[in-house]
Structure 1
Amino acid sequence: MKVRNELTRKQQRFAAEYCVDFNATAAYIRAGYEARGNSAEAAASRLLSNVKVQEAIEQKQREIAKHCELTAENIVRKASAVAFSDIRKLFNPDGLPKPIHEIDDATAAAISSIEVGQTITDGKVKGRTCRIRLWDKNSAQERLFRHLGLFRKEHAPQQLPRKIEVVFISPDKEVVPFSNHRKAGET
């Protein structure tokens, strides 16, 4: 940790706090720096431009990623689970929702929330409700497209030619330009 020894305690704390929410101004204040008015924002910006502080932040992010097993493969796998989720996997053949412990990992990763409720009439349970919300498939697919580079120019659809020449062939096999085709058919 050569980088950390070169930083002051407050700079080290700022780097750690910045990794919490990526809010430089809030990290500056939480690190114990004095802040008056907009000075915290300006000072935090200066700290972020400090090469040693940037190195400490990058080191902390690598530590967090390693601890949480954040690898490109795991992230793509989770995004794929959302992008290609199939709502049918949440239900039994009879149409009732599967118990939560029967849902496979990929389908469970696509769920953003589950709300379970009851309908009570005259003090008796008359029915149950289950609202299942899934993460947004479109944004997950867009993230995967970007990761795979499918938005780059070489993957873009080919441009159609801007000018198309249309000609007609008359009954006597003569090529007639489009602008003259009615005249040719009238004669």
Structure 2
Amino acid sequence: MPAKKIAAKARSAAPKPVKKPAAKVKPVKKTAIAQKLSKTGAPKSPEAVVPASVAGLSELEARFVQEYLVDLNGTQAYLRAKPGAKETTARTESSKLLAKPNIQASVTKGKAERSERTGITADIAIKEAWAIMTADPRELMEHRIGCCRFCWGKGFLYQRTQAEFDRAEAELAKVNEAAIESGKPVKDFDPLGGVGYDKRRSPNPECPECAGEGEGRTVFKDTRNISPAAASLFAGVKDTKEGLEIKLHSKDSAMDKVFRHLGLYNDKIQLTMPTVLIKDLTGRKD
């Protein structure tokens, strides 16, 4: 048999190689941050979509850092980063995360990135919080105590201002004119306690009407003339059924921010109980 025919026959008899299906490659799951940034049209490269502050962190760590930068509250940041977690767990795990050098470095980078984006520095934010915290609300409104109408009137009788006195006298004159025309008797003007009432004057401790306590009133200040600190505290004016209401920014919230910045909070609470008390509670004598 010719050599060419033998080779052809051998090739046709040889088993055909079995093609193996191509291995399926599981898509890499994007972190929540990468997914959020990709939706905004940012480049799909991981190096481009992940901020420098969370690069190299796990998905949970990255979310925690981003949430922590919102309010610098570790427990709340963990609860938002991992929904469903218990508060006790969040408190413990957030402390562990914040103790890690890479997390601390990420938080520092995140603050720097935020300052660069917004142009707002920590100094500016703390100065504003400090202004709210130390502002005197009396620059915006006061509750004043002044004399009552009887405090300084002659014989502790009702006292008028000069304008009130003149109006009362003029009104009585008109009444008397009409009385004369109709043939009726005229009335004498009663000066009562005289003139000179000034609500800014201090109460008379001998006044039988108010017992020296005077009358209170609320005074709103002209906001054009307040200090920068009071302007930071001022949050606007609301017109209510009872009158005007001045709204203020929370001093407690400002104090919380300043205290957190200074590291004055100690979130670790240790509960201790004397040994003697424990023995008493258990009923044991030894």
With normalisation by structure 1, the TM-score equals 0.46
Q: Which has the larger radius of gyration?
A: 2
Higher relative contact order (CA 8 A, sep 6+): 2
